[in-house]
Structure 1
């Protein structure tokens, strides 16, 4: 146990440099979307404790019309030193000159899963045919307003040939975790990225949808051009992407980025 903590301390010092004196500690403003939030909520405090910095965190989707969406927060001029979000949404902010291109860091890959209410019968989603039947038999289906939900609505239902059959029973759920609606009994079948399903109490994680139907979402992070604490932000991103952080990333339902 002692060796493990010593390795963590060495890792943090390597990634962040010497611990900052408290008088010089920075409050790093972070905006993060749901998919990486569970991992960030574990790793972020460890980084803050080791460096003496503090983290101020705002949650919001990577895209969409909700006021809490990260692009909309930035457009309003809300302070941000780090943004953690879906990779292609981050790329759009880089194109717009709102995030520094040289700051982009790959964090994790996320796959879509299924949840039902605790105590409900567990459906079969083990094959494409079984998953299709489960969707057709569900009284109601919920999916997110972020990357996974856009894929489900615009592509997956069409690929399965059930777009017309589920119309009226399938709905996009903005901003809040889909599994929270499942836990409350408002939606029978919830589809969202695994890392967003797992933390919700009252919902049972069934498993990932069949790989042939998957849409893998890359989560990445960057430093906005208006960041006030650029060096601290870069140090935080190095830590989140470090090999030593990957066990935590994987425990939250994400897949580590494969080395290419």
Structure 2
């Protein structure tokens, strides 16, 4: 009996020592596109502090020809543990076999908004006619090279019946935030997802475009095949999509998926 008790004590001590041994932290490589970046920059450090893992963040658009675009990075073989991007662009990567299908999580919805340069008059774009007149009278218009800009270029101007009038003065701005070229005075007004407009200094947020012509972009995340740290990546995705993250999601101009 005495030997049995000594064995149990020894096992208990061994168990405690194993539990006390530090678990090696993982460095997760996260590729994120602009729409969810403001929220991620706040949520990421919270996850790192609670998990002990570290995050290496790589910024790039969800689509397009730029070398920095997430699909182009993956095509070159760049490693990643997590990709955060426009939902339908993520779906394309899943179909191509580059992202694990069952890893997809919904993160947030992102509506389109407009900015002007700080100090400039804020036009009323809350109605279709107000938006239409603003576009017609603007000297120059900028929009992004991601989901919101593709919609504006291919659909919004047509819906408003002003494609011919504004086509020559409306330009797609690649790689950089649209609000930055408005803040510099290069363009008079700019359109992009609200969450990408708000963080830029020097530009004033005017408002969202009307619901009847709005295009809401769903942001989602997934784990690429051959991710170096899939278990830790899954924990990060669970945190980013958790109820605890929703206040931050709202504060950065996004709309929680659960609200719809």
TM-score (norm 2): 0.91
Structure 1: unaligned runs, 5 residues or longer: 1-18
Deviation of the 1:258 alpha carbon = 2.9
**Aligned position for 1:228:** 228
- Higher Cα Rg: structure 1 or 2? 2
In structure 2, the residue corresponding to 1:258 is in which secondary structure?
Answer: helix
Distance 1:132 1:20 in 2: 64
1:22-69, Cα deviation, whole Å (9 max, x unpaired): 551000000000000000000000100111100001000000000000
Please name the residue that 1:158 is paired with.
Answer: 158
Q: Which residue of 1 aligns with 2:130?
A: 130
**Distance (Å, rounded) in 2 between the aligned partners of 1:40 and 1:46:** 10
Unaligned 5+ runs, structure 2: 1-18
Asked if structure 2 preserves the Cα contact closer than 8 Å seen for 1:143 and 1:172, the reply is: yes
Change (3 A) 1:22 1:117: farther
Instruction: Tell me how many residue pairs correspond in the alignment.
Output: 242
Structure 1 residues 145 and 69 mapped into 2: Cα distance closer, same or farther (>3 Å)?
A: same
Compared with structure 1, are the counterparts of its residues 259 and 179 closer, same or farther at alpha carbon in structure 2 (3 Å cutoff)? closer
Off by >4 Å, runs of 4+ in structure 1:
19-23
Distance 1:137 1:232, change over 3 A: same
Q: Is 2:107 aligned against 1:74?
A: no
* Other-structure match for 2:41: 41
What TM-score comes out, normalization by structure 1 length? 0.91
Q: State the alpha-carbon separation in 2 of the partners of residues 63 and 37 from structure 1.
A: 15
> Does 1:114 pair with 2:92?
no
Measure, in 2, the Cα distance between the counterparts of 1:80 and 1:204.
Answer: 35
Report how far residue 129 of structure 1 moved. 0.5
Mapped to 1, the partners of 2:114 and 2:122 lie a distance apart of 10
| 1:4 aligned residue | none
Note if contact 1:110-1:193 (Cα within 8 Å) is conserved in structure 2: yes
Deviations 1:92-133 (A, max 9, x none): 000000000000000000000000000001111010001100
Secondary structure of the 2:172 match is strand
